[in-house]
């Protein structure tokens, strides 16, 4: 049996594409290996969101290509956003690549492999006009108790800094019945945590009916037996309604976790970014979310060093973080991405200033996060156990409580964990809160 090795880079949305491709190949009686030196076929699913991601993708391709000389690799497939954006350059400059698949061509992976075996090089770049569904084979690479579910593809927002609409296309939402059927199937497989993802999750359904169908979808998902946590990612402000807010607070299965990718707060920067929501809109929404007796954990991402960002505008952003007290924040330095309107803007900010602003904002947020986590001391939560660490007689469990998302947030550490196993969900009390992580005890 041929062995497939893979590297999946970038976001969780990209990971789902990787899992679907692996599922298709497993149906063709191929096995998966973690050791690329033993792989007959290697798939690199790439990211091109920012310059660092682009460079990481290129290096991963170069590293994988070496296994054609030092390992068993007979075929190298490059897929995803980098393939979509730079197909001509990759075909010309990297002859080691046998297959290029764009973001809408994941379902042609077997066809591509078959074509290469006939002695041809392959480049499939189809429109993103379809998504996987509940019937599509998928080999999950996440732990057995947790899964990502992609409810939509593409984006209609046209932010000036973002290449995603160009490489992923316009918003395309899956039918509700398809998503519900998939989650029901995952529940039967033992999945307890469902992580709902899309490029803009609150816009789900707008392309179908003209308004957000996210609340309608969630009302069906919460009825599925076996699912304990439903976590929502990438909740853009524009379609964040009162109904959605109340639903998150009211439904126990929906994690009280609000991930708002705000990017900035200064009106001038928001306008240059072509964001749909004004500074006033954002402040009103955040105030509402923070007012709910602080039952909701607030997370956001921000960009510093956007073209033309003045010291005053950066100070507004810094003050906004201090006043709002987000529980967690991700900060990115602006990346001048080829093909985006922002890349052509004058008043580009120097890398030195970007880095200075990045570290300033992270230092501010570290203080805020530590304050927020200390306020959790003495409170009780449900903890999902992810792994057990043993050192001599000491046994410690590592996992997450309901307000900590996989990959992006801190962890919770549980001492005296001899009675728990990975995948267990147990009640704990927080005993210590630090800037990023928590320490808990069993209740």
pLDDT tens digits, one per residue of 90-142 = 999 999 999 999 999 999 999 999 999 999 999 999 887 678 888 899 999 99
pLDDT of residue 49: 80
Q: How far apart are CA 17 and CA 263, in angstroms?
A: 26
Domain 144-373 sits in CATH 3.80.30.20: yes
Name the residue with tokens 């480049």: 123
Residues of the chain with CATH 2.40.50.140: 377-440
Question: What is the topology classification, in CATH, of domain 1-122?
Answer: Rossmann fold (3.40.50)
Does the pTM of the predicted model rise above 0.85?
Answer: yes
Q: In Å, what is the CA distance from 113 to each residue of 33, 121, 234, 255?
A: 17, 10, 34, 41
Is 159 one of the annotated binding-site residues? yes
> Closest Cα partner for 81 from 337, 265, 324, 348?
337
pLDDT of residue 392: 82
pLDDT of residue 128: 75
Helices vs strands, H then E, count in the chain: 15, 19
pLDDT in tens, 299-330: 999 999 999 999 999 999 999 999 999 999 99
Name the residue with tokens 């990481």: 56
DSSP single-letter state for residue 7: E
Write down the CATH number for the domain with range 377-440: 2.40.50.140
Strand, helix or coil at 386?
strand
Q: How far apart are CA 383 and CA 298, in angstroms?
A: 19
Q: How far apart are CA 49 and CA 57, in angstroms?
A: 11
> Closest Cα partner for 55 from 273, 329, 337?
337
Is 421 one of the annotated binding-site residues? no
Is 162 one of the annotated binding-site residues? yes
Write the Ramachandran bin of 172: left for phi over 0, alpha for psi from -120 to 50, otherwise beta: beta
DSSP single-letter state for residue 254: B
Residues of the chain with CATH 3.40.50.12160: 1-122
Q: Could you count the other beta carbons within 10 Å of the beta carbon of residue 105?
A: 23
Strand, helix or coil at 388?
strand
DSSP single-letter state for residue 349: P
Do residues 116 and 76 lie in contact, with contact meaning Cβ atoms separated by under 8 Å?
no
pLDDT of residue 189: 96
pLDDT of residue 294: 67
Residues of the chain with CATH 3.80.30.20: 144-373
Do residues 168 and 155 lie in contact, with contact meaning Cβ atoms separated by under 8 Å?
yes
Is 81 one of the annotated binding-site residues? yes
Q: In Å, what is the CA distance from 246 to each residue of 218, 249, 347?
A: 12, 5, 42
β-bridge mates for residue 317, sequence order = none
Which residues of the chain fall below pLDDT 50? none
């Amino acid at each position: 049996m041929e062995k497939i090795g893979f590297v999946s880079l970038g976001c969780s949305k990209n990971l789902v594409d990787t899992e679907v491709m692996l599922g298709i190949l497993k149906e063709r009686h191929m096995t998966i290996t973690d050791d690329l030196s033993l792989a007959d076929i290697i798939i690199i699913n790439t990211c091109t969101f920012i310059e660092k991601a682009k460079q990481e993708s290129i290096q991963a391709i170069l590293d994988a290509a070496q296994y054609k000389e030092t390992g068993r690799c007979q075929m190298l497939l490059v897929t995803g956003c980098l393939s979509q954006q730079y197909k001509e350059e990759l075909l010309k400059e990297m002859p080691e690549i046998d297959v290029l698949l764009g973001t809408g061509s994941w379902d042609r992976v077997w066809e591509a492999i078959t074509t290469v075996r006939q002695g041809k090089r392959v480049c499939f770049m189809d429109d993103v006009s379809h998504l996987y569904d509940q019937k599509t084979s998928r080999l999950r690479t996440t732990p057995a108790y947790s899964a990502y579910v992609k409810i939509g593809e593409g984006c209609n927002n046209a932010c000036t800094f973002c290449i995603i609409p160009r490489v992923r296309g316009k918003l395309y939402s899956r039918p509700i019945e398809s998503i519900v059927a998939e989650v029901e199937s995952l529940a039967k497989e033992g999945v307890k945590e469902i992580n709902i993802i899309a490029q803009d999750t609150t816009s789900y359904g707008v392309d179908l009916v003209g308004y957000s169908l996210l609340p309608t979808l969630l009302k069906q998902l919460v009825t599925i037996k076996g699912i304990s946590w439903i976590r929502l990612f990438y909740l853009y402000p524009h379609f964040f309604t009162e109904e959605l807010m109340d639903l998150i607070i009211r439904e126990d299965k929906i994690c009280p976790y609000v991930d708002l990718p705000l990017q900035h707060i200064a009106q001038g920067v928001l306008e240059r970014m072509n964001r749909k929501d004004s500074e006033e809109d954002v402040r009103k929404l955040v105030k509402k979310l923070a007012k709910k007796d602080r039952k909701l954990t607030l997370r956001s991402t921000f960009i510093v060093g956007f073209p033309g960002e003045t010291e005053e505008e950066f100070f507004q952003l810094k003050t906004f973080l201090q006043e709002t007290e987000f529980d967690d924040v991700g900060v990115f330095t602006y990346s001048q991405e080829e093909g985006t309107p922002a890349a052509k803007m004058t008043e580009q900010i120097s890398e030195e200033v970007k880095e200075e602003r990045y570290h300033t904002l992270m230092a501010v947020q570290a203080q805020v996060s530590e304050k927020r986590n200390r306020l959790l001391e003495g409170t009780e939560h449900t903890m999902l156990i992810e792994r057990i660490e043993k050192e001599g007689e000491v046994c410690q469990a590592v996992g997450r409580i309901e307000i900590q998302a996989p990959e992006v947030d801190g962890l919770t550490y549980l001492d005296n964990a001899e009675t728990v196993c990975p995948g267990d969900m147990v009640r704990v009390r927080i005993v210590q809160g630090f800037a990023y992580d928590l320490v808990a005890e069993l209740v």
